[in-house]
Amino acid sequence: MIDTVDATTAPGSSTATFHPLAVASIETLTDDAVAVTFAIPTSLAAGYRFTAGQHVIVRRSVDGVEHRRTYSICAPEGSGDIRIGVRRITDGVVSTWITSELRVGDVVEVSTPAGSFGRSLAQRAPDHVAMVAVGSGITPTLSMVATHLATTSHARATLILGNRSASSTMFLDEIASLKDRYLDRLHVIQVFSREERIVPLQNGRIDQDRTASLLAAFVDPAEVDDWFLCGPLEAMSAVETVLLSRDVDPLRIHRELFHAGRPLARRDLSASDQGTQVEVLLNGSRTVLTGRDLTGSILDGVLAQRADAPFSCRNGICGTCKARTISGTVEMESTWALDSSEIDDGIVLTCQARPTSERVSLEFL
Ligand SMILES: Cc1cc2nc3c(=O)[nH]c(=O)nc-3n(C[C@H](O)[C@H](O)[C@H](O)COP(=O)(O)OP(=O)(O)OC[C@H]3O[C@@H](n4cnc5c(N)ncnc54)[C@H](O)[C@@H]3O)c2cc1C
Ligand code: FES
């Protein structure tokens, strides 16, 4: 019953695969959020090994329509636990099912881990990391901060958390116990948008003004080696804008978005598009897209012909659909899931890409 739809991971890493996993436990985190841990059979343990900051894809079919959603792993690296934290979104197809209907013992299609959000923690072992997590953005952040403090004895971390209130904060107890364990090395700053704190600076939303004030009061960007930002687009853009205005190297700012606008819209083909040809290499075989295959994104064209194309969000934020450009050029509507070094290396998000040269050749990662 094992299915082999591929979901590509970071550049150069191996592909991920879906397996049916039983739910081992469900913990209530807040009124609208739960943590779910999946049981991993010994035979699959190696495949579900992950690095801090990675995510899995949950797949669910409703009335014959397949839905895929990405969820970050909140457990520390090396724990062996595939534990995710899910917040219910109003009318959300997958989050409402997970937070309201899922029960221990149910079997769920879950991909092996993918993603490269925490890559530079492992590669650089930075001294001082600062993390800004808004709402459910705490999920990968919790894994990364716990892993980094446990594995790098000299490391310090500053954690800025944005939530509506203490009661709506996911993983509050775990953040508190990390704080107790690393009293001198972890600084946690909580900001609440709907709960009054004694310090006015900690009341409100994380926007540009508040970010600038928080930096002035608590953390000098010149003393931070790497920044990790995770949460909604608006807050993350505000933080990034302020950091860039303070001369933080863009390569030291790592961000992961959980939600962005709509998928790339389909469009009519112009006369000049008619002769365009896109060749795609995927899992060792070649697919050629022409004409009507190219009214949507390159990923749409591939999915119309093949079921094994890797994807999840189709919104340019999860990075599952990455491919390397072999020849030709494409334009992308959004590149949130790519860092600047990947763009320089010709990595593209196929769910956001349309060809801009007559011949394009891409290879899925
Ligand atoms: C890399 C990555 C990691 C993620 N990690 C987590 C995680 O750890 N925990 C978690 O809870 N979620 C996480 N998400 C978000 C998750 O993948 C889903 O998008 C989310 O659960 C909503 O799915 P749904 O099927 O319930 O809603 P849908 O049925 O897809 O959407 C319902 C409505 O809500 C809107 N919507 C969808 N998502 C959001 C959102 N996040 N905020 C506001 N409006 C939204 C849609 O536009 C639509 O109008 C992550 C996303 C990405 C890309
Ligand atoms: S499918 Fe998520 S970035 Fe393309």
Domain presence at residue 265: no
* Out of 226-235, 268-277, 324-333, least confident range: 268-277
Strand positions, DSSP E, the chain: 6-7, 16-30, 33-39, 55-62, 65-72, 82-87, 107-111, 128-134, 156-163, 186-192, 226-231, 253-257, 277-282, 285-290, 322-327, 330-332, 347-349, 353-355, 359-364
350 and 243 in one domain?
A: no
Domain presence at residue 299: yes
Confidence band, pLDDT 50/70/90 cuts, at residue 135: very high
128 and 253 in one domain?
A: yes
Can you give the pLDDT at residue 273? 74
Domain presence at residue 266: no
Which residues are within 8 A (CB) of 195 and not within 5 positions of it... i.e. 6 or more apart? 164, 165, 166, 203
Domain presence at residue 262: no
- Domain, as residue range, for 317: 271-364
Domain presence at residue 183: yes
230 and 180 in one domain?
A: yes
Can you give the pLDDT at residue 338? 92
127 and 104 in one domain?
A: no
Please report, to the nearest 10 degrees, the dihedral formed by the alpha carbons of residues 285, 291, 293, 295 taken in order.
Answer: 140
172 and 89 in one domain?
A: no
Using one digit for the tens of pLDDT, what is the confidence trace for 141-189? 999 999 999 999 999 999 999 999 999 999 999 999 999 999 999 999 9
Cα of 71 from ligand 2 centre, angstroms: 13
285 and 227 in one domain?
A: no
SS3 state at 125: coil
Among 95, 111, 127, where does a domain finish? 111
Can you give the pLDDT at residue 260? 79
**Best substitution site from 9, 302, 313 to test ligand 2's pocket, by max atoms within 8 Å of Cβ?**
313
Using one digit for the tens of pLDDT, what is the confidence trace for 75-134? 999 999 999 999 999 999 999 999 999 999 999 999 999 999 999 898 888 999 999 999
Name the closest ligand to CA 71. Answer: 1
* Nearest residue (CA) to ligand 1, atom 9: 86
17 and 126 in one domain?
A: no
Helices (H), 152-232: 172-181, 208-218
Residue 7 scores a pLDDT above 60: no
**What gap in Å lies between CA 164 and CA 138, rounded to an integer?**
13
Cα of 195 from ligand 2 centre, angstroms: 35
Closest among 73, 74, 69, 136 to 98, alpha carbons compared: 69
Among 84, 111, 138, where does a domain finish? 111
Domain presence at residue 106: yes
Q: Which two tokens stand for residue 102?
A: 């899922």
Can you give the pLDDT at residue 275? 87
Using one digit for the tens of pLDDT, what is the confidence trace for 186-210? 999 999 999 888 888 889 999 999 9
CATH of the domain at 13: 2.40.30.10
Sequence length of the chain is 365
Confidence band, pLDDT 50/70/90 cuts, at residue 6: very low
Position 208, amino acid: Q
Name the closest ligand to CA 88. Answer: 1
Nearest atom within ligand 2 for CA of residue 321 = 4
Residue 24 scores a pLDDT above 90: yes
Residue range 213-222: mean pLDDT, rounded? 96
Residue range 208-234: mean pLDDT, rounded? 96
- Provide the CA 350 distance to its chain's centre, in angstroms: 16
Confidence band, pLDDT 50/70/90 cuts, at residue 341: confident
Domain presence at residue 249: yes
Average pLDDT value over all residues in the chain: 92
Nearest atom within ligand 2 for CA of residue 336 = 3
Number of domains in the chain: 3
Can you give the pLDDT at residue 177? 96
Q: What is the 3-state secondary structure (H, E, C) of 13-36?
A: CCCEEEEEEEEEEEEEEECCEEEE
Answer whether 175 contacts ligand 1 (Cβ < 6 A).
Answer: no
Domain presence at residue 302: yes
- Provide the CA 295 distance to its chain's centre, in angstroms: 27
CATH of the domain at 208: 3.40.50.80
SS3 state at 189: strand
The Cβ-side half-sphere exposure at 23, using a 13 Å CA radius, reads 18
203: DSSP letter: B
**What gap in Å lies between CA 62 and CA 223, rounded to an integer?**
49
291 and 207 in one domain?
A: no
Among 257, 280, 296, where does a domain finish? 257
